[in-house]
Structure 1
Amino acid sequence: MKKDKILLIALASQGRSGFIAGHQLQKIRRRPIIGLLYISSAAESIGVETEILDQYINPFTLDDIRQQVEKNKYLLVGFYSPVVKNNSEASLETIYASYLKKHFPELTIVAGGPGTYFHGHFLDRGFDIVCKSEGDETLKDIIRYTQGKLKLSQVKGIAYREKDKVFTNPDREPIADLSTIPYPDWPKVDLKLYKDHFIPTLRHPSAPVTASRGCPLRCAFCYSPNFWRYSHRVRPIPELLGEIDLLVNKYKVKYILFQDPIFGWDTKWLAEFCEALTLRKYRKLKWMCHLHPLIFRKGEYDLIRKMKLAGCNLIHLGLQSADDQILKNINRSPSEPAILKEIIAVARANKIMTAVDFIIGLPGENRRTVRKNIEYALDSKADMVHFNPLYLEVGTELFENKDKMQTAFSEDEIVKICARANREFYLNFKTICRLSIGIIQNNPRFLLHALLRARMVL
């Protein structure tokens, strides 16, 4: 008997930051979409076959998708949306969905991912169903709907269009026990095709991994409070190590990118995880993670030494601003700049590289605060710094209060300021020396790609 089948699609982003244009970034940073791999495993767990099309790896056109849908009787086609869209503008996902709906009116088209907060954007432009948050269990119910086993009104966690009316169902509770979720569908991707030359410590093949889901914080610029509803859950350490064992032993992975919004927020869990991974003795395995400065609010800097012993060679930190008032304006703590400098110092002592993110254009931003950020970045001795323009995502606190925001710069000015700030940091002699030493210590092969990166930045 032939299995039911669904098609999952990731489209190549056309975004832009203050550092590297989106289309240029795609040339040097390609990572598997781990959200799609989790969704694929969810479908496979109930006996439904999946196909994944990743435009980053295999470029395709609208007509290519049309021909593929013609050849296959899919239960549904799902699109991954990474960034929240403004309802007034068409997006790449809606262009594809509208095209498919025109040619296949009976086809069920679904949107999911972090970018689906504003469901009207999708339901007005070709989509039938929007998964509002965590999609593992929701997709299973959507599949059951396409199989005639459920009504859409019975599916929690979605918004949908039916007979020209839009309905919003009750939210689905976040999955409490992450050990019940199957591993991402790693057999569906060839990790050797994904190359990331943006991270100087990274070795290939690499793989993204999530050790937790959600975030308990309320940063005013972030969509996370709406998507995750402040829930923060960690995977049991034995279950997480099982996936790492699989990636290392079967797929020969040499580098793991932990993509948690806030890795290691539970410091006891972080210490136990590092100790357990160290005992694995994977000498060739290295990893990076995203940490919040307040993880070390109690001065537990010895965790950094344990991270190093477990293979960590890069810590990515989001400071966003060095100005106390701006930090207060975005629901962050004024204590963070001092803590972050201490983190960087301890990381340097343990030969772990550091990267720090800033956002330019936050409420209260002016020339003085921009200069303060640049001087802080240079003084902090971070190996890498990214100055990014503020992007007002629909559903965030800043977006809801955008009419009250006070900033001294236009959007175009902010992009130019970010570019100048990045150049000033990376053309600084001490930065060049520090970054070069860090690369030589951690991954000398990266120097082969340094010219490409320099051309993108300059």
Structure 2
Amino acid sequence: MKLLLANPMFKGALGIPSFGLGFIGTYVKEHSDCEVEVVEQSMQGISTEALIEKALNVDYLGLICYTESRFEVFDLARRVKTANPSCLIMVGGAHVQTLDREILLHYPFIDYVVRMEGEETVLEIIQGRPLKEISGLTWRCGTDIVRNPDRPAIADINCLRYDYSLIRHQIADWKDYEIPVRMQGLNALPAIASRGCPYQCKFCASNRHWGHSYRYMTPENLVALIEGWIERYGTGYIRFYDALFVGNESRILSFCDLLEQRNIKISFRVDVRIGTSKNVLRRLREAGCEVLGFGIESGSDRILKRINKGITRAQIEETIGFCRDLGYWIIGFFMVSLPDETEEDILKTLELLKYFNEADVQFFKIHPNTAFYDELLAKGEITDQVWFDTTEEAELFYCRERFSSAQFTREEVNSFLSYAYNKISLCNPQKVIETYGALKGVALLTVAAASNMLLSGSWGRGLQRRIKNIGFVKSIYNRLSSRI
């Protein structure tokens, strides 16, 4: 029996593995005699035709589906079912959690939707357990679509393991390009040590997707894994992709103590919340953490409250200031065009960029199974059918052209984003020069400075948008002002 698990290539795919597939693949391998292969298509660099060829001789195909990849996922499923009609195709991931019935209605070539955690559900499918007895599964019974009860979250995730041999050749040269250039030569490994998030930000589906739970590995188990990674792969840097690494501060303090007691020398990066205690931040730094990521989202207290972030601007400035004093490389994550956001709110956000070594400023996009999506459904500005309409873009940008409640047009938001990324470069010229070399780096910084002189005011942003739409000027401007 053969199981192929795949993360299809899509526009904007991140260069990281989809951890869910690796955990599912490992779990099935350890609890059955099923042959398992995991394909991260964008990382592996194989064509869709080659991926379909791999699926010709498998019994099961499992596809992870993100909102941004949904069209590629469903098209791949259709093509595989045509080429291998006996293959049973299942989809899972955050995007399908509440759209399971609609997916089976729209796509007859998909056999199952796996909701929430997939390890036990996929194993039971492969073992042949009667479908009606498999929790967390949505399936067809004749012409009916059956939604079985939810599967309880796995209480102890220490029983789960990620077998990197499933994707080792795909991540052998993996790098985290947001960290200092001096660290990018370390042998790096992406990892995850917890599941879920206890917070309920209105733009995020994490809390709902994981069943409103937050679970984590014990410090002892995590440190033992790190020792194994160092011995097996020569790992020198770990990028933890946990939605919230510090969900339990006593656990983190024990983790730091164990690293020191065992004399484990490892650099690592984690994402933490604003307001994390100074003691934890200090101990993480002492134990080898060199890079911190913060989900800031906005610099406006009004918007932070609107999105239910649970932090304030004063807390942001205090926490970031303390981390700068500790010598961390600090990465901030922000969004622009949030619901009810004004130009004044956005400018407050952009003011914060100067405090960060690296930043990711995103155009706010709508995702299913979030509180903001529920608001738009209630207003009648969107329906579930939007996710199946192939005339829509893969990413649903929250802008005035699409949503009557949005405050800005798409071009207006893109002007703010151009300003933001120019400012990030100007605040961190050393990294620009180290990345691109002196000549190209100075040229890029010069263009960024000139561009931001124009973009710093609303009049200039409007002029920039008009200039960009003048024939040959548009081509030249885009080439010079784009962030390479």
Shorter-normalised TM-score: what interval?
0.7 to 0.9
Q: Counterparts in 2 of 1:104-119, with a 5 A limit?
A: 104-117=84-97, 118-119=99-100
Q: Distance in 2 between matches of 1:129 and 1:158?
A: 7
1:329 aligned residue:
306
Matching of residue 98 in structure 1 with residue 78 in structure 2:
yes
Does 2:195 match 1:213? yes
Classify 1:366/1:450 alpha carbon distance in 2 versus 1 (closer, same or farther; 3 Å).
farther
Query: In structure 2, which of residues 9, 12, 22 is the aligned counterpart of residue 37 of structure 1?
Result: 22
Distance 1:426 1:216, change over 3 A: same
Q: For the structure 1 residues 225 and 97, does the alpha-carbon distance in structure 2 shift closer, same or farther, using more than 3 Å as the test? A: same
Question: Where does structure 1 differ by over 4 angstroms across 4 or more consecutive aligned residues?
Answer: 446-452
Cα distance change of structure 1 residues 254 and 362 upon mapping to structure 2, 3 Å threshold: same
Q: Which has the higher contact order (CA 8 A, sep 6+)?
A: 1
Whether the 8 Å contact between 2:125 and 2:131 is mirrored in structure 1 is yes
Higher share in helix: 2
Aligned equivalents of 2:438, 2:142: Cα separation in 1: 54
Deviation at 1:122, TM superposition (A): 3.7
User: Which is greater in Rg?
Assistant: 2
* 170-179 or 152-161, which deviates more: 152-161
Q: Which amino acid aligns with 1:345?
A: G
Q: Does 1:398 align with 2:383?
A: no
In structure 2, what is the equivalent of residue 79 of structure 1?
Answer: 63
Aligned length: 413
Deviations 1:178-220 (A, max 9, x none): 1121x20111222323233343344442112222111111100
Counterpart Cα distance in 2 of 1:132 and 1:159: 8
Q: Which runs of 5+ in 1 are unaligned?
A: 16-21
Write out per-residue CA displacement over residues 264-302 of structure 1, whole angstroms, 9 at most, x where no aligned residue. 12111111111111223233x2100111113x2xxx212
Matched, 1:432 2:411: no
The SS at the match of 1:45 is helix
Deviation of residue 406 (structure 1)? 3.7
Change (3 A) 1:273 1:46: same
Residue of structure 2 in register with 1:388 after alignment = 362
* Aligned: 1:340 with 2:319: no
Instruction: Report the identity percentage.
Output: 23
Between the aligned partners of 1:424 and 1:349, the Cα distance in structure 2 is: 22
Q: Which runs of 5+ in 2 are unaligned?
A: 382-403, 445-479
Equivalent in 261, 265, 268 of residue 250 of structure 2: 268
Q: Secondary structure at the match of 1:304?
A: helix
**Change in 2 beyond 3 A, CA 1:163/1:179:** same
User: In 2 relative to 1, CA 156–388 (structure 1 residues): closer, same or farther, beyond 3 Å?
Assistant: same
- The TM-score with structure 2 as length reference comes to 0.79
Report the Cα distance in structure 2 between the residues aligned to 1:116 and 1:312, rounded to whole angstroms.
35
Query: Separation in 2 of the partners of 1:409 and 1:450?
Result: 37
Change (3 A) 1:252 1:229: same
Structure 1 residue 416, shift from structure 2 partner: 3.5
- 1:120 positional shift: 4.2
One of 205, 211, 214 as aligned partner of 1:232? 214
Contact between 1:132 and 1:157, CA under 8 Å: does it hold in 2? yes
1:8 pairs with 2:36: no
Q: 1:275 to 1:448 in 2, by over 3 A?
A: farther
Deviation at 1:448, TM superposition (A): 6.9
From the superposition, tell whether residues 132 and 416 of structure 1 become closer, same or farther in structure 2 (CA, over 3 Å).
farther
CA distance in 1, matches of 2:405, 2:305: 14
Matches within 5 A, 1:347-366: 347-366=323-342
Question: In 2, Cα distance between the equivalents of 1:164 and 1:60?
Answer: 36
The superposition leaves residues 303-352 of structure 1 with CA deviations (integer Å, 9 ceiling, x where unpaired) of 2221111111110001111111111111123x432222222222222211
| Residue 81 of structure 1: how far off its partner (Å) | 1.9
1:138 matches 2:117: no
